[in-house]
Homo-oligomer: A and B are copies of this chain.
Amino acid sequence: MADKEIDVIQNIYDENDKIALETKDNMGKRGVFVVNVMGAPGAGKTSSIISLIKGLADEKVYVIEGDIESDIDTVKLKELGIETIQINTNGACHLDAPTIKKSLTDLSLDKPGILFIENIGNLVCPAEFQIGEHIKMLICSAAEGSDKPYKYPLAFEKADIILLTKGDLKSFVDFDDEFFLKGIRALNKTVPVFEVNAKIGQGFEAAVAWISTRKNSAIK
């Protein structure tokens, strides 16, 4: 790649990170804890967010749904009475800080609480960009197989919390728990991994408690 191209790309990253830190700071001052939800297509991101919200019943919750196209998940969340806005990136493979900053003006943000931002379904690019989050939550489906930490390391390295969904499908894909965890620990010594079933909303209690604790230490 030519030097000019590298400079342009570095400028995009630097500007993005500056805006992300401003957003995180502004949201923190309002008492809003921001969770950047990442995962591959069909990992169960929206279903997991819904289950977490049910567990966080005392909190005001906001959601930003990032999709390349469509508003399928936003419709689902609004039907549940959750304040949700849709971002369509029209092709872009990840959310970025300027896009999130702009979209925040469409949320009421009238109370302290938690903002879940569901990133584009992509196990690669979203991990490279801060968007204003306090924590990154990675959602993995057991159906994707247990080798994902080895093949897509950055998302696992950067995750503050990991949810493993669709555990009922493990036997169908010869999912190897030990291999999966070994891959994660090689990248990230401390990230908690919670096994959940987002389809029936099971196993979210520990993840909800972890998020609440983390929120309370981040937002004074």
Contacts and interface: CB of A to CB of B under 8 A. Distances in A.
A123 interface: yes
B125 A93 contact: yes
Interface stretch (A22-30, A64-72, A211-219): A64-72
A4 B11 CA distance: 12
Contact of A124 (B93, B143, B152, B173): B93
Contact of A122 (B8, B123, B168): B123
Question: How many protomers of this protein does the assembly include?
Answer: 2
A69 B150 CA distance: 7
B123 A125 contact: no
A144 interface: yes
Interface string A130-148: 0000000000010111011
B8 A42 contact: no
A145 to B, nearest CB: 5
A169 B144 CA distance: 12
A117 B206 CA distance: 42
Contact of A169 (B12, B122, B151, B172): B172
Given A169-B169, A172-B169, A199-B173, A41 B93 contact: no
A121 interface: yes
A42 B141 contact: yes
Contacts of A164: none
Given A40-B123, A68-B152, A69-B151, 15 more contacts: A4-B8, A8-B8, A40-B40, A40-B42, A68-B124, A68-B151, A69-B153, A72-B147, A93-B124, A120-B124, A121-B124, A122-B123, A166-B172, A169-B169, A169-B172
24 contacts: A5-B12, A8-B8, A40-B40, A41-B123, A41-B144, A41-B152, A69-B151, A69-B153, A72-B150, A72-B151, A93-B93, A93-B122, A93-B124, A120-B124, A121-B123, A121-B124, A122-B125, A124-B125, A141-B143, A143-B166, A166-B172, A169-B169, A172-B199, A173-B199
